[in-house]
Amino acid sequence: MINTKITAQQSQDVKKLLNECKNVVIVTHSSPDGDAIGSSLAMYEFLKRKGKNPTVIVPNYFPDFLRWMNDADKIIQFDHHKALSYNHLNMADLIIGLDFNVLTRIDEIGEAVRRARCKKLLIDHHLGPEKFADVIVSYPESSSTCDLLFRVITAIGEADRLNLHAAEDIYAGMCTDTGGFTYNSKDPDLFNIIAELLKKGIDKDLIYRRIYNNYTVDRYRLMGYVLYEKLIQYPELHASVFSLTREELAKFNYLKGDMEGVVNMPLAIKGQKLSVSLREDTEKPIIWVSVRSYDDFPANELATQFFNGGGHFNAAGGKLENKTMDEALEIARNAFEAFRDKLVD
Ligand SMILES: [Mn+2]
């Protein structure tokens, strides 16, 4: 038996919301990743099989490597279809938030969700959920929202309603939030969940290939460029930083999502503990920062103290506004020095 982590009260509350709704809007965070899209589409499939009328709305663009999922083409992109999105939000009798903790993470949709008079449900695994929903299922120790969603649906006794498509979506989210089960994936129940998904017929090897071996030539060359030309390694500290300006990104016909996972690459260096990436926004004077670490190095603390951000213990992010790339690199250097004790052997 899988430990669902869900309390009897939560289970009862979720069940009631999902039974009593008809028109459901599912929303997820800005720049949606595999877990965001996977959990949203899994919930969408589940609700359809429950005879409901669900709609998925995302704040903005999501990358191509997630578009193989069933009904991904039915997802409404808010920034391109505002009127349609507001229509759905106004009609909703239940709004379900997945894979975000605070309403600012869903951009402009957040205000509409805050104002909406209907019932709201939040299922998420980020620290510190905002109390905007009637029912909140928040387990920050969960490796992904997809993992948590499977447990929630199991807890309410409706796992049979998860079809093959929903199982694929859940697997995709579990896979991407753990780097293909290479970090944050020590909970034995993860593998019990995967076993259940396999019984529903998922082809896990094919899903892996669709997600990870799905690069454009431009993106693949961009990865090579980062490693060969841009990586600044601090051998003594087992840490690295790399930067990309918008001119460099343009050389590789950069599309949103092309940098996904690139920050993980330097962690493949023997003994590496920390990797930071600095990417200039293609329009605004912002440098986006990603921080990844191994083991007991707190990526989120570094992101909070130096990059106006935060996140998970081993995967965090932030941003620098109105800084040159040289200044950003200097801040990274200072951050590494400040955390020297945790980096040297
Ligand atoms: Mn997630």
Q: Mean pLDDT throughout 287-311?
A: 96
For residue 307, the CA-to-ligand 1 centroid distance in Å is: 21
End-to-end CA distance of the chain: 41
Residue that is last in its domain, among 212, 237, 258 = 212
Is residue 35 located within the same domain as residue 164?
A: yes
Q: Mean pLDDT throughout 235-240?
A: 98
Q: What is the pLDDT of residue 28?
A: 98
Is residue 27 located within the same domain as residue 96?
A: yes
For residue 36, the CA-to-ligand 1 centroid distance in Å is: 6
Q: Mean pLDDT throughout 86-91?
A: 98
> What are the tens digits of pLDDT across the range 112-169?
999 999 999 999 999 899 999 999 999 999 999 999 999 999 999 999 999 999 999 9
Q: How far apart are CA 312 and CA 36, in angstroms?
A: 15
Determine, yes or no, domain membership for 48: yes
For residue 178, the CA-to-ligand 1 centroid distance in Å is: 9
If pLDDT is split at 50, 70 and 90, which confidence band does 256 have?
Answer: confident
For residue 35, the CA-to-ligand 1 centroid distance in Å is: 5
Is residue 305 located within the same domain as residue 237?
A: yes
> What are the tens digits of pLDDT across the range 173-211?
999 999 899 888 999 999 999 999 999 999 999 999 999
For residue 345, the CA-to-ligand 1 centroid distance in Å is: 31
Q: What is the pLDDT of residue 142?
A: 95
Is residue 57 located within the same domain as residue 151?
A: yes
Is residue 143 located within the same domain as residue 125?
A: yes
Q: What is the pLDDT of residue 304?
A: 98
What rounded mean pLDDT belongs to the chain? 96
For residue 324, the CA-to-ligand 1 centroid distance in Å is: 30
Is residue 83 located within the same domain as residue 195?
A: yes
pLDDT at 104 over 90: yes
Determine, yes or no, domain membership for 3: no
Residues with Cβ within 8 Å of residue 226, at least 6 apart in sequence = 242, 244, 262, 265
Q: Global pTM?
A: 0.86
pLDDT at 101 over 80: yes
Is residue 64 located within the same domain as residue 135?
A: yes
Residue that is last in its domain, among 182, 212, 242 = 212
Residue 222's DSSP bridge partners are: none
For residue 112, the CA-to-ligand 1 centroid distance in Å is: 22
For residue 87, the CA-to-ligand 1 centroid distance in Å is: 27
Overall domain count for the chain: 2
Q: Residue 324 in contact with residue 280, Cβ under 8 Å?
A: no
**Which domain range does residue 264 map to?**
217-343
pLDDT at 1 over 80: no
For residue 327, the CA-to-ligand 1 centroid distance in Å is: 31
Chain length of the chain: 345
For residue 301, the CA-to-ligand 1 centroid distance in Å is: 19
Is residue 232 located within the same domain as residue 91?
A: no
Q: What is the pLDDT of residue 179?
A: 87
Is residue 103 located within the same domain as residue 235?
A: no
For residue 220, the CA-to-ligand 1 centroid distance in Å is: 25
Is residue 29 located within the same domain as residue 89?
A: yes
Q: What is the pLDDT of residue 255?
A: 87
Residue 290's DSSP bridge partners are: 277, 317
Q: In this structure, what CATH number is given to the domain that contains residue 203?
A: 3.90.1640.10
Q: What is the pLDDT of residue 340?
A: 98
> What are the tens digits of pLDDT across the range 315-325?
999 999 999 99
For residue 228, the CA-to-ligand 1 centroid distance in Å is: 30
